[in-house]
Structures are given as C-alpha cells and as structure tokens.
Amino acid sequence: MLINKKILVCGSGPSLPGQLKNIDLSDFFVVRINFWEKINGYDNKCDAWAFYPYFQGDFKPYLEKAKHIWMPHYGFHDECKRITGITPSYTITKQETKKFHQLIGHKNPTSGAVVIYMATLLEPDVYIAGFDFSKGDKGYYWSDKKPSADGIEHHKQWFEEKWVNKQIETKQIFKLGTT
C-alpha cells in the first residue's frame, strides 16, 4: 500500500478530542479503529478503518466513511471480505503477527496496538492520538462508561503502553501534539 502522507492512527480514548483540537488532518492518512463516533466541530476524516470482524455493530456507517479497510487480525482477510463485501487493502501477515506478539510480550493485543504496529511497517511517519490504555474514569471519548476490567486483563494493555512509550521515546512513532 502506497501512502505518501503521515499516518495518524486514532484510538477511541478520552484524550482523542483534546489531541485533535485545531489539527488539520489533510496532511495525514487517518486510520480509525473499531467503534468511533463523530466529534462535533472536529475533522472526522477516515481514510482507513480497521476492526475486529466479530465486533457487535453495524459495519455500514464505518464503511461509508473509509476509503480503505485495514485488517489487523491475521487470518481474517477472507472473513472481512465475506462480511463487508470489501477486500482489505492492508492485512497483517502471520509472521508480522508473531513478531508483534514477541515485541510486546503477550499474544492478545488490542486491535489498536496492532494497527499502530502495522502503520510502523509502512514508510511514512506514524502519529497516534486517543490511546489512553484504559486509564482514567472513561473508556471512550464518547461515553462516560468506565473501562472494562475484563478487557484490560484480556489484552494486558500495560504491555502495549510500554511498547508504545518506547516507540515514542525512540521516535519510531509520535504522539499527536507533542512533537
């Protein structure tokens, strides 16, 4: 996949609106993950949508906004095509999946962490926004619901946070608004 712009991977953490405030997204190839809601008064650009194929929800609103689909789950390329009618334009390989599991130290990362990793495998600079690793009182920017302890334990987000912070420290990725 040829991308000639900086890549911005947007998570759904409560920090997302603040990190996107006054940011012109025209310089970015924007990747959104799983559920995401429009933020009133903000650029809600979505060049690619990445998701777990068995999430509970209607795919149509996301597919209408995205020009591309990224599949961050090895082995789900055909399932993605079957359930959405669209062939993913970027899919993680088995080897890349195994390498990422080794890098972060566990075998069940979130879709968001995998998408960040996938973005780093491409040429452009990678920026992230809205990744809070389920810390704080809210799980998502559009909801007051607290993060699920089951999800946190299942994905072991502290491993992901450690890996992301190392990538930021070594300037492999950049946190939007802090460069």
- DSSP SS3 for 43: coil
Q: How many whole angstroms separate alpha carbon 128 and alpha carbon 174?
A: 6
- Pick 6-175's CATH classification: 3.90.1480.10, 3.30.43.10, 3.30.70.100, 3.40.50.300: 3.90.1480.10
Percent of the chain with pLDDT over 90: 62
- At residue 149, the pLDDT reads 56
At 59, is the pLDDT very low, low, confident or very high (cuts 50, 70, 90)? confident
Average pLDDT estimate for 32-47: 92
Strands (E), 1-145: 6-10, 28-33, 48-50, 68-71, 90-91, 126-129
At 179, is the pLDDT very low, low, confident or very high (cuts 50, 70, 90)? very low
At 140, is the pLDDT very low, low, confident or very high (cuts 50, 70, 90)? confident
Domain boundaries, given as residue ranges, for the chain:
6-175
Average pLDDT estimate for 153-161: 81
pLDDT per residue over 25-39, tens digit each?
999 999 999 988 899
- At residue 66, the pLDDT reads 92
